[in-house]
Copies of this chain bind each other. A is one copy, B any other.
């Protein structure tokens, strides 16, 4: 049908929910002179220790130059450290320092508080539905290293990246 119902309400709810969700972290980041970009880098380096710069570029879908500025600040200020790869010494594997861990945990704490409030009164089955929904919202045709970890085995038809 040409007039298939558009899901205006969910589109709108997603906008507001995400706005306030990231707002929690944004506010705290200001104190440190950081922005949302720093948070994203720190989050993924914390979650996937030893992530390569190239992996990070895939996940964040930004250019090397854009990442460079943000990453340099996090390195200079001691939130992240680099180590040369064992097999390939060109690689700079990234790790969060204790200082970095502390910040990212603080930010995750704020967001977890909001999530816990929102999940109050929702049964475990309901939470599973929400997870299923969110996972199904994500493109799986060209999964990066992080998405492969999230989804386990690469999805059908997806090219397997080494």
Residues of A within 8 A of B (CB): 3-21, 23, 40, 43, 47, 61, 105, 108-109, 111-112, 114-120, 122, 126, 129-139, 146-147, 150, 158, 161-162
Give Cα A46 to B18, complex, Å. 21
Report the minimum CB–CB distance from A152 to chain B (whole Å). Answer: 13
Contacts of A111 in B (CB 8 A): 7, 11
How many copies of this chain sit in the oligomeric assembly? Answer: 2
A147 nearest CB neighbor, chain B only = B16
Contacts of A7 in B (CB 8 A): 108, 111-112, 115-116
> In the bound complex, do residue A138 and residue B4 qualify as a contact, i.e. CB atoms below 8 Å apart?
no
> In the bound complex, do residue A4 and residue B136 qualify as a contact, i.e. CB atoms below 8 Å apart?
no
Report the minimum CB–CB distance from A41 to chain B (whole Å). Answer: 12
A135 nearest CB neighbor, chain B only = B13
Among candidates B118, B126, B138, residue contacting A137 with C-beta atoms closer than 8 Å? B118
Give Cα A97 to B139, complex, Å. 33
